Each structure stands twice: as structure tokens, then as C-alpha cells.
Copies of this chain bind each other. A is one copy, B any other.
Amino acid sequence: MTDSTTNMRLKLPITCFILEIILIILFGVLVQYDHETDSREWHKSNHSDYENDFYYRYPSFQDVHVMIFIGFGFLMTFLQRYGFSSVGFNFLIAAFALQWATLMQGFFHGMHGGKIHIGVESMINADFCTGSVLISFGAVLGKTSPVQLLIMAMFEVTLFAVNEFILLSILGTKDAGGSMTIHTFGAYFGLMVTRILYRPNLDKSKHRNSSVYHSDMFAMIGTIYLWMFWPSFNSAITAHGDDQHRTALNTYYSLAACTLSTYAMSSLTAHDGKLDMVHIQNAALAGGVAAGTAGEMMLTPFGSMIVGFLAGIISVLGFKYLSPILEEKLKIQDTCGVHNLHGMPGILGAIVGAVTAAVATTDVYGNGMKDVFPMIADGGKASYQGGIQAISLAVTLGIALLGGLIVGFILKLPIFGQPPDTICFEDSIYWEVGWINGDIASTIRCQ
């Protein structure tokens, strides 16, 4: 299965080396420790070492980090012959994206006297941006070369930072868990890319575009880690104190309710009542996505449960009925079904956030209003904040779709070594694997 067009011997090393050298140079010129990581700066002020934000953000960061590398990486190993690429390319593009995101996010909203200041909060934000790229990766999974993925990551990170800047810094949108900035953006960007990269003859690789028993078990590792740590994800960069605490709590109950509705819908929509691993692996997570915007708000535990409950239902229905339509009618080949896990639940989360913001009152938030809605605390109207939230969704969708369109065409350039239609979803193009040409059948039979 070696093919001159997919041979990465020069393309991949050159891409990696150029990107990393550019990163190193830009870091050398632009990036500095912030005042909590710099030895001299930290010791200038009079505070205890225990007040360093490291102790209040780093455990959340590590949970997010696990979601990015284990969660996303293993979630995508469900394909029978694409485990190396799923976890391996996830690893590669995430390692690149988090560096590039540090620069792009710093450039747009982290500059101090011409320098980008970094610390644990920027690390969390870089991982968040990376998450968005990995969502898009899910849409094109199995059909792209690692060079294409790196190029996609480069552009997507940049556009992510632009969108994030517009929302958070210009409009004053609240979106701590990223229902819009991360999930909606990543999903619709990826869906547009995969639309542009449409392969009419993908059914030639159809026999590999499915799971086997063990690949589903590996994927469950990803699912469970994402599910468990989602409360940390949504709360990682909210304001300290009650805000982080409440966000984690809301997400916890949203996910729990989502899991029950997912199992119910999975069984209900199967003709023989049997559960489908695709739903369990994905839809059970929709409650985390949908609590991404409103999680830090006074959503109440039962509000969170309703959101999760609906997210699970929508997501399973999407997998069952909408995805086949998207593929047939709109020519969107969405390998992981990111539209059902990140797209629709992201939009749901944005709407829930807009509504929850629009009904915020000082009676409910008290002096905590300034942490959750600084604009309302400063005298703005809650309905205005709600309007901002709704506009933000539209902006996000616009940038994601337009960006995906452009990037999709760039990725179509024949120089990036994308696999032919006959060998998609196949590790052996890019990896040394034990099996030999033609041995596919025996592998599948034996799993």
C-alpha cells in the first residue's frame, strides 16, 4: 500500500520542521513568562507562593489535557484499521496546535507591551483551541494525510483566535466552556472542509469505515474520559470561587441526564431495541457540549438536567436520521458524526446560554453578577446580553463555514498526499503495521 502520492517521506518532515522552526523563532521573539511564572516578576510583589494561580487552575488544566489527548484520541479509535492514525495524528496535530494557539490567542488577546505573556491560563486556552481542531479532525477522519491535517490546524487555529477575539473581547460574550467558540466552531468548520473534500467514490473504502469489537472498547476509553472530565473543561477558565464550583456541578448533572436519554433513544430507535455503540460513545457526551455556555450561569441543577436530557435526544436522532441525509443530500461525509456531538448540541448550548443570560437578575446573582455578567453588573440590560449571545452564535457559524470553505479548497491541492478513495480509513498508508497487503479480511474476521 505504498504509493508515491501518499508517501510522506519528504512532505511530513519538511512540514513539521518548518512549522516547528517558525514556532520556535516566534516564541523567541514574542513570548514571555507571565508574572506568575517569571521568577523575578513573581517575587517582586508581596504575596505567598500559595497564592500562585497554578494551584487554582492546574488541576483543571490537567483534566482538560487528558480530554484533548486521551479523550479525543481514543474516541476516534473506533475504526477497525485506523487506531494508529486516530490516536497518532490526534497527538501530532494537537502538539502543533497548542503551540500555534499560544501565539494566535496571545496575539489577539494576550499582548502586554508587545509581548505575549503565558502561564497556566494560556495553556488551558491553547488546549481549548486545540480541541476545536480535533473536532474538525473527527469530520475528516480517515480521509486526510497528516500534512493536510497540519495545514488545516494552522488555518483553523488562526480563525478560531479571530472568532474568539470577536466574541470575548469585542462583543463581551460569555462562553467559558465553548459551546460556540469550541464546539460549534470546530464542528461547522470541519463539516464544511469535509464537504469541499467530498469523495463520490468513498464507498470503495466502506468495508473499513466501521468498528470491530476491540476498536469499540478502545473508543470507550476516550468517551469515558471525556465524560468524566467535562465538568473540569467547562469550569477551567471561569471566574474563581462559586463560578468554577457551579459550572462543574451543572455539567456533572447535565451529563448524567444526557446519558439516560442517550441510552433510551439508542434502544428506542433500533428495530430490535439493541444499543448502538456509536450513540453511547458520542451522544452521551452531548450534555457536556450543551452546558458549555450556560454552565457558569445560575442555570440551576434541574435546568442543567433538562439541557442534558434534550442534548442526548437530539444527538441520537441526529446520528440515526440526520447524518445519512447530510451525506446523501448535502454530500457531507462526517466520519465521526461531529454534527451530532458538537454541532447541534453546540447550537443548543448557545441558545440555552442566550436565554439564561437574558433572564439574569440581580436578585438571583447578587454580588456575583460582576463575575458572570460584568456588562449587566455595570448597568447593562440582561436582554442585551442575551442578544449578544445570540449574535455570537451567528458570527461563529459564519466564520466557521466561510473559513471551512476556504481551507477546504486549500486542502484540495494535490500536493498534500491525501489517500485515494480505495484506501481511506487505513493505517498502513502512513504507518508501519504488522499486516500485509490483502490481509484485511483475516484481520476483520479475527477481531
Contact = CB atoms under 8 A, between A and B. Distances in A.
A108 interface: no
Contact of A8 (B38, B99, B273): B273
A52 B244 contact: yes
Name the residue in A15, A36, A274 with the highest tally of chain B Cβ atoms < 10 Å from its Cβ. A274
Contacts of A227: 69, 91
A58 B256 CA distance: 18
A364 B40 contact: yes
B442 A446 contact: yes
B16 A263 contact: yes
Interface in A31-87: 31-33, 36-44, 48-56, 58-59, 62-63, 65-66, 69-70, 73-74, 77, 83-84, 87
A111 interface: no
A2 B270 CA distance: 12
Copy number of this protein in the oligomer?
Answer: 3
Interface in A1-45: 2, 7-13, 15-17, 19-20, 23-25, 27-28, 31-33, 36-44
Given A119-B245, A273-B9, A39 B213 contact: no
A32 B42 CA distance: 35
A214 interface: yes
A286 interface: no
A165 interface: no
A216 interface: yes
B40 A365 contact: yes
Contacts of A228: 62, 65-66, 69-70
A419 B365 CA distance: 51
A447 B159 CA distance: 42
A171 interface: no
Nearest to A30: B302
A272 B2 contact: yes
A239 interface: yes
Given A16-B261, A49-B240, A432-B270, A256 B99 contact: yes
Interface stretch (A217-225, A332-340, A345-353, A397-405): A217-225
Given A23-B257, A66-B228, A59 B58 contact: yes
A39 B69 contact: no
Interface residues of A, number: 142
Interface string A357-371: 000000111111101
A122 B431 CA distance: 42
Contacts of A77: 217
A405 B33 CA distance: 44
A38 B224 contact: no
A230 to B, nearest CB: 10
Nearest to A364: B40
Given A119-B249, A213-B434, A9 B272 contact: yes
A306 B429 CA distance: 30
A327 interface: no
A62 B245 contact: no
Nearest to A10: B273
A284 interface: yes
B39 A431 contact: no
Interface string A233-273: 00000011111111011001101110111011101101111
Interface in A77-112: 77, 83-84, 87-88, 91-92, 95-96, 98-99
Given A36-B245, A52-B241, 13 more contacts: A13-B268, A20-B260, A20-B264, A28-B300, A39-B368, A44-B366, A48-B241, A49-B242, A91-B224, A118-B301, A274-B431, A275-B432, A446-B446
